[in-house]
Amino acid sequence: MKILLNNINYFLKNDFLYLKNVYFCKLFIPKFISILIKNDTLIVENLKRQKCMFNAFISNLNNLILGIKNLWTKKLEISGIGYKISLEKNFLILFVGYSNSIKIIIPDYIKVNINKNSIILLSVYKDKLGVFTEKLTKIKKYDPYKKKGIFLLNKSFTKKSSKKKQ
C-alpha cells in the first residue's frame, strides 16, 4: 500500500514513525509491518496474513496524516443550571451537580478551548480524542427530558414514548 506524504516531515527510529507538519505525532510500527520510504511516499507491506491488524494500522496512519494537516475537533456542550467548566494548567475542572468538583487530567496530545457552556477539543490523534470525549460524556450523561448533562453537539437524541399500544 502506498501513502503519499505531501510536505510532511517523517522520521523512522526504534519501531516508531514520527510525522511533523504543523503539528507533531508518533505512531508505533508493529513487527509484522514493514515500511519503506521512497521520495515522498511510504510503502507499507504486511509481512503476515493478519488483515484486520494491517487495516487498522493503515486507517490509523491515514487519520494521523489528515490530523497533522488540520486537527481533529470535537465540540461538547454542557447544559444545566449551575453547571460550570474551568481550566487550570493541564486540569479540566467540572462542576456538574455533584457535591465535589471533578478534576480530569488533560493529556498532552489534546488541546482544550473553553467557551461559556462548551468545550472544544483539538488533537492530531482521532482515536485518542474519541476516547477522551467519551470519558467526559460519561461523567454526567445527557438527559433529554431534563435537558441536563454533557453531550456532543452533533449527536441527536430520541425520546421514547410511554404510551402503550393496544
Which amino acid is located at 111 in the chain?
Answer: K
What helix, strand, coil percent values describe the chain, rounded to 5? 20, 40, 40
Any long-range contacts for 112-118 (C-beta under 8 Å, 24+ apart)? 112/87, 114/85, 114/86, 114/87, 117/77, 117/78, 117/79, 117/83, 117/85, 118/75, 118/76, 118/77, 118/78, 118/153
Residue with more model confidence, 114 or 162: 114
Question: Is the predicted pLDDT of residue 159 greater than 70, yes or no?
Answer: no
Asked if residue 157 has pLDDT above 80, the reply is no
Neighbours of 11 (CB within 10 A): 11
The answer to whether the pTM exceeds 0.85 is no
The pLDDT of 7-31, averaged and rounded, is: 84
pLDDT at 11: 81
Question: What pLDDT, on the 0 to 100 scale, is given for residue 75?
Answer: 93
Domains contained in the chain, CATH given: 2-69 (3.90.930.12), 72-152 (3.90.930.12)
Q: What cell numbers appear for 132 in the block?
A: 477522551
CA–CA distance, 145 with 90 (Å, rounded to integer): 33
User: 31, 6, 5: which is closest to 16 by C-alpha?
Assistant: 31
Between vectors from CA 28 to CA 42 and to CA 43, what angle results, nearest 5°? 15
Mean of per-residue pLDDT scores for the chain: 86
Q: Tens digits of per-residue pLDDT, 23-77?
A: 888 888 888 888 888 887 888 888 877 788 888 888 888 898 888 888 999 999 9
What is the model's pLDDT at position 54? Answer: 85
pLDDT at 7 over 80: no
Question: Residue 110's closest CA among 67, 46, 48?
Answer: 67
